A and B are shown apart, each in its own frame.
Chain A
Amino acid sequence: DAGVTQSPTHLIKTRGQQVTLRCSPISGHKSVSWYQQVLGQGPQFIFQYYEKEERGRGNFPDRFSARQFPNYSSELNVNALLLGDSALYLCASSLGGMNTEAFFGQGTRLTVV
């Protein structure tokens, strides 16, 4: 079975540009979450989606948005990129609900120049 897949794996963007990151969850998983990890820190929560509805949002500006599609895949969009948005973006998939195990993709490494 395929695990969580993310694309692209690496990306370089210029300040002010927009970026879209993609995630496909494990088959049968209905919940997708997004995390940002900057160098030397643990991942920080951005969004959670379950059954195509937003269930949680972390402390990130409105430049960050996401959505989940009928096939449970998800996109994370970041507008007006800043240098500080350079990070590893991780997608997690789970069955859903409070106490279910989360599985992560390999991440997308975004560099803003």
Chain B
Amino acid sequence: GIQVEQSPPDLILQEGANSTLRCNFSDSVNNLQWFHQNPWGQLINLFYIPSGTKQNGRLSATTVATERYSLLYISSSQTTDSGVYFCAQTGANNLFFGTGTRLTVIP
């Protein structure tokens, strides 16, 4: 099956710092999504990005489908950015998730 690897597994930042989260895939990219899981467990959609670059405020994402990776950039991090970030790729009928990056932003 599809393997999704995320790095780093854990990240601690000072408020205001920038960060880059990476997602590697074992198979060609069809549908690629980034999520932020809040402390209550809900997965919040950040980006739907099979290829190219998208930006939404302080967040942006880039997927290089030919090289099977995606990057999530967080600029000027805030304490509310804390949580677990997941990337997920579509298989035949479902999403395959990575193990996540746990981000902690310290005031």
| Chain A residues at the B interface, C-beta cutoff of 8 Å | 33, 35, 37, 41-45, 48, 55-56, 58, 88, 90, 92, 98-107, 109
Contacts and interface: CB of A to CB of B under 8 A. Distances in A.
Given A42-B86, A42-B100, A98-B30, A103 B45 contact: yes
A58 B41 contact: no
A104 B4 CA distance: 19
B93 A55 contact: yes
Interface string B86-107: 1010111111111110000000
B97 A56 contact: no
Interface residues of B, number: 25
Contacts of A37: 41
B93 A106 contact: no
A55 B71 CA distance: 30
B94 A48 contact: yes
Contact of B42 (A33, A48, A55, A105): A105
B40 A98 contact: no
